[in-house]
Amino acid sequence: MKDRALLKVENLKTYFPVRKNLVEFILSRKMEYVRAVDDVSFNVGVGDILGVVGESGCGKSTLGRTILRLIEPTAGKIYYEGIDVTSLKKKEMRKLRRKMQMIFQDPHGSLNPRRTVADILRQSVRIHRLADGKAEEDAMIKTSLEEVGLRPAEEFWRRYPILLSGGQRQRVGIGRILILQPKLVVADEPISMLDVSVRMGIVELLAHLREKFGISLIYITHDLATARYICDRIAIMYLGKIVEIAPTEDLLKKPLHPYARALIAAAPVPDPRVKMEELPIIGYVPLIPSDVYTSCRFYPRCPYADKGCRELDPQLVEVEPNHYVACCKTK
């Protein structure tokens, strides 16, 4: 992990209380929590792209939203350029939001259907007071639309989101944050709801923005293929914890955690002649995650698990240069 980090996350936790009826609460006499993010630590350097990969429900999106304080953390620290984000008051946090932005998964639901494309971007300009007048606002909006590939900008100026394709809507969403000139962007599965034919265009746009503007990205995804294409490092999440984090090629060529191996083995190969092998894991994600909070999260499904895995919650350890894994079976 780099010493010079734009973002530094330390022991971050986000817990949600489990709702119980009165009888259950009286019998248990204690509150239970879902540990959506549980003791997560990592750094993101200037201009870096960190991929966060895992199954649905592993805590990827909650992690991204907690970093931006769209969800308040239960514990831990988040540092942005050395500033303790978790200690900022609402007024101070508002000033910082321009530098920390998010691309949402649903490009239609994240845009106001009653506003035109120009008005959507104009709202961001006015909230953050970036322009002195309408002429300057128009110039900024035009530049932003053209930068994300919506050319000519005049063609999209008065369109409503419903008149745009999914890919165009996502480009409008990216243009809305680009106009703020952020330094950190959390991209929460930005291509999962798009047609296959336009997905690569959005991924290439994100890579272009990193190269041109030096934007750092946290790229949340299920897709290891696009993660390999765009990410410098990949973090594998399982039930709220990062179980492995390493440079992209190192992790994909030599995964050390059994769950990381299973994810890579499950990735489809675009060749009908290749026979998919049986996945090297057993069972399913626990229905009641609290059963494994005091042990290795993966032990119920791990083919290598033993009694020690039920009694120990392994922490991330550097087993190779910049390659960290949380597994007591890894030497």
Q: Determine, yes or no, domain membership for 209.
A: yes
Number of domains in the chain: 1
Q: Determine, yes or no, domain membership for 138.
A: no
Q: How far apart are CA 197 and CA 248, in angstroms?
A: 24
Considering only residues 68 and 310, tell me which one the structure prediction assigns the higher pLDDT.
Answer: 68
- pLDDT, tens digit (0-9, with 9 covering 90-100), for 74-107: 999 999 999 999 999 988 998 899 999 999 988 8
For 180, the token pair is 């703020």
pLDDT on residue 231: 96
Q: How far apart are CA 35 and CA 13, in angstroms?
A: 7
Q: Are 255 and 323 in contact (CB under 8 A)?
A: no
Q: Determine, yes or no, domain membership for 142.
A: no
Residues in the chain: 331
Q: Determine, yes or no, domain membership for 37.
A: yes
The per-residue b/e assignment along 216-246, b for 16 or more CB within 10 angstroms, e otherwise, is bbbbbbbbbebbeebbbbbbbbbbbbbbbbb
pLDDT on residue 26: 59
From the CB of residue 36, how many other CB atoms can be counted at a distance below 10 Å? 23
Burial class (CB in 10 A: 0-12, 13-18, 19+), 314: buried
Q: What are phi and psi of 319, to 5 degrees?
A: -95, -25
> Whose CA is closest to 237, among 260, 267, 205?
260
| pLDDT, mean of residues 216-229 | 93
pLDDT on residue 28: 63
Q: Determine, yes or no, domain membership for 311.
A: yes
What CATH number does the domain containing 303 carry?
Answer: 3.40.50.300
Q: Are 62 and 218 in contact (CB under 8 A)?
A: no
Q: Determine, yes or no, domain membership for 204.
A: yes
Cis peptide before 289 (omega within 30 of 0): no
> Whose CA is closest to 41, among 260, 324, 298?
324
1 band by pLDDT with thresholds 50, 70 and 90:
very low
| pLDDT, mean of residues 291-309 | 81
Domain region containing 226: 5-99+182-325
Residue type, 139: A
Q: Determine, yes or no, domain membership for 130.
A: no
Q: Determine, yes or no, domain membership for 314.
A: yes
pLDDT on residue 27: 61
